[in-house]
Amino acid sequence: MDRIYSPWRSQYIESFNEEKKEECFLCGAIHSVNENKERLIIARESHCIVLLNKYPYNSGHTLVVPLHHISDLDDLTTDELVAVMATTKKVVSAMKDAFHPHGFNIGINIGQSAGAGLPGHLHFHIVPRWNGDANFTATISDMKVISTAMENTRLALIEKMNDSHL
């Protein structure tokens, strides 16, 4: 993944050690009820959930997360693997409809040395990319602006994900 300058990620790095002691925030999101907005959840599928990354590399940065707290691809069942990829495809399609990105980075960081922010719970990153977006993100460092933009992004993706069920 390209290194995009994301000032708000320093907050994430700083909070990492504290978060490790608490319940995994992805499990927290999976087990939450009626907290979709607060938890940035876009969709709940049979084997995974879809949510916005609270500390995005880029606008629209989304995570597809298996329901089980597992750290490695080896631990995913074939059904889960298929479901995660099918969901990823659906999210990409919804992003194309909603935001018309020029490209995508899609991937997994396995292990802390590979840059996994939460090494205990496997998750797939989907990052939409636009020509020149590195310049765009550098100008958006106000957390309030980001929260508003993220809620709009979440609602747009929910709408497009629901369209794809028809």
Burial of residue 13 (number of CB atoms within 10 Å: 0-12, 13-18, 19+): exposed
**Residue number, nearest CB to Zn ion:** 24
Based on the shown chain and the rule CB under 5 A, indicate whether residue 39 belongs to the binding site for Zn ion: no
How do beta strands 48-52 and 62-66 pair?
antiparallel
Q: Strand, coil or helix: what is 128?
A: strand
Q: What is the DSSP letter of 112?
A: G
Based on the shown chain and the rule CB under 5 A, indicate whether residue 121 belongs to the binding site for Zn ion: yes
Containing H/E element for 55?
Answer: none
Q: Which residue has the tokens 């298996």?
A: 66
Based on the shown chain and the rule CB under 5 A, indicate whether residue 27 belongs to the binding site for Zn ion: yes
| Shortest CB 62 distance to Zn ion, Å | 17
Based on the shown chain and the rule CB under 5 A, indicate whether residue 125 belongs to the binding site for Zn ion: no
Distance CA 31, CA 27 (A): 6
| Shortest CB 70 distance to Zn ion, Å | 8
Of 92 and 116, the one with the shorter C-beta distance to Zn ion is 116
Q: Kindly state the number of chain residues that form the binding site for Zn ion, as judged by CB under 5 A.
A: 5
Of 26 and 43, the one with the shorter C-beta distance to Zn ion is 26
| Shortest CB 71 distance to Zn ion, Å | 9
> Among this protein's residues, is 121 annotated catalytic?
no
Catalytic residue among 47, 61, 121, 123: 123
Contact between 83 and 46 under an 8 Å Cβ cutoff? The reply is yes
Based on the shown chain and the rule CB under 5 A, indicate whether residue 98 belongs to the binding site for Zn ion: no
Kindly give the residue spans of alpha helices, DSSP state H, lying in the chain. 9-21, 25-31, 78-99, 133-139, 143-163
Chain residues in the site for Zn ion (CB under 5 A): 24, 26-27, 69, 121
The catalytic residue positions are 123
